Amino acid sequence: MIPFRHLRAPRKRVFALVAPALALVMLLGACGTGNASTPPPSATSTVHVGNAGTLIPGQFKWGEDSTGGMPYIVPKDANNPNAAYYGYEVDIANAMAKLMGAQEIPTQITWSNWQQGLASQQFDFFMNGLEITSDNIQAGAKFSIPYYVYTQSIVVLKTNTTINSFADLAGKKVETGSGYEAQNVMDAYNAAHPSDKINETLTDNPTPFTDLQSGRVDAMFIDTPIAEWYGGNDPSGLYKIVGGPLDPGYYGIAFDPNNPNTPTLMAEVNKAIEVLYNNGTLQKIYEDGGAYNAGPSGQVIFEKYGMWNDSQACIGNFLPDHPTNAANCPPLPTK
């Protein structure tokens, strides 16, 4: 399990990743020659969860912001043409829909407007890298059980030999997204170490690591799924992840607590997550799923999400019917 450091400052906002167009220009975004969605194991076809809690019978709309970037959800492009969207949350939605006997419908909304979208019933729930935090609960979310244990990671150039841990970031120029959880962690560290601060560089577009590649910063400190996609697993081979995963927390599916359908739909979604966790579908998506990317010479290469790790065992602690007892997991906020 991952060590949990109590360095969190109040949540500002979650990531707002680079637009896919910029990622394509840099040859670090998602592009390729086919549809990269991850089919769930056949076991999912034998289990039926139901969809009695959806606003429209037989379908669920899920709020998302596809301008955010990989590996979460992005619209199809000329090289990934076989589905309207792709990314690991699209794969999860497809697997859930199969279990629930429903059609899944991604519903675009500006990420920061997720509360209004829920309250106005634009969609049944919001699923787009939303962290289960006290701030988000107080902002108007009632959360499912976790579907992913996220962490923060340090990305450096492969040629870097001076940064090998979080402690090595002191005195270095380190970039992250403005308002990302990584910023909160560094802010808290700097407050506790005023004479040996991290030199934070904040940007609204921290991918695809152009400042790191050019040498304007020494490292990136960012959500691990982003670090893996644009850094550790990137086909260019320019980057490496050091220091291990840090500061774990949970992504969850958000529901409107005032919607009378929420108790029923939450129970159905929680059951679906439990089935997908137990039958290996979540692991298959995180471990083997991915999309097409451009290699160092522009050749098409399948890039895996690279998201499965030992800390995903913590999901099992929250399963509704048969919870496990994984050790060293971060607590789950309830209010």
Q: Evaluate whether residue 277 is within a structural domain.
A: yes
Q: What is the mean pLDDT of residues 244-272?
A: 95
Q: Residue 126 and residue 131: Cα distance in Å, rounded?
A: 11
Q: Evaluate whether residue 34 is within a structural domain.
A: yes
Q: Evaluate whether residue 124 is within a structural domain.
A: yes
If asked whether residues 129 and 183 sit together in one domain, one would say no
Q: Is the link from the previous residue into 71 a cis peptide, with omega within 30 of 0?
A: yes
If asked whether residues 214 and 171 sit together in one domain, one would say yes
For 41, other C-beta atoms within 10 Å of its C-beta total 13
Q: Provide the residue range defining the domain that includes 314.
A: 20-149+253-318
H or E element in which residue 149 lies: strand 148-157
Q: What is the pLDDT of residue 112?
A: 85
If asked whether residues 42 and 184 sit together in one domain, one would say no
If asked whether residues 71 and 145 sit together in one domain, one would say yes
Tell me if 220 sits within 8 A of 231, measured CB to CB.
yes
Considering 194, 224, 249, which residue would you say is the last residue of a domain?
249
Q: Evaluate whether residue 135 is within a structural domain.
A: yes
If asked whether residues 261 and 136 sit together in one domain, one would say yes
If asked whether residues 221 and 240 sit together in one domain, one would say yes
Least confident span in 32-41, 123-132, 308-317 = 32-41
Q: What is the pLDDT of residue 17?
A: 34
Q: Evaluate whether residue 330 is within a structural domain.
A: no
If asked whether residues 161 and 221 sit together in one domain, one would say yes
If asked whether residues 220 and 102 sit together in one domain, one would say no
If asked whether residues 225 and 269 sit together in one domain, one would say no
Q: Evaluate whether residue 331 is within a structural domain.
A: no
If asked whether residues 222 and 291 sit together in one domain, one would say no
Tell me if 234 sits within 8 A of 304, measured CB to CB.
no
Strand ranges, E, within 95-147: 103-108, 125-126, 142-143
Q: What is the pLDDT of residue 111?
A: 85
If asked whether residues 202 and 54 sit together in one domain, one would say no
Considering 207, 225, 249, which residue would you say is the last residue of a domain?
249
If asked whether residues 71 and 137 sit together in one domain, one would say yes
High-pLDDT (> 70) share of the chain, %: 86
Is the pLDDT at 40 greater than 50? The verdict is no
Is the pLDDT at 264 greater than 60? The verdict is yes
Q: What is the pLDDT of residue 188?
A: 95
Is the pLDDT at 95 greater than 70? The verdict is yes
Q: What is the mean pLDDT of the chain?
A: 85
High-pLDDT (> 90) share of the chain, %: 64
13: nearest Cα among 221, 204, 143, 192? 204
Rg (CA), the chain: 19
Enumerate the β-bridge partners of residue 86: 74
Number of domains in the chain: 2
Considering 206, 230, 249, which residue would you say is the last residue of a domain?
249
pLDDT tens, 146-155?
Answer: 999 999 999 9
Is the pLDDT at 30 greater than 50? The verdict is no
pLDDT tens, 199-216?
Answer: 999 987 787 899 999 999
> What is the domain-level CATH number for residue 219?
3.40.190.10
Q: Evaluate whether residue 6 is within a structural domain.
A: no
Q: Evaluate whether residue 13 is within a structural domain.
A: no
Is the pLDDT at 2 greater than 80? The verdict is no
How open is the CA angle 39-25-305, to the nearest 5 degrees?
25
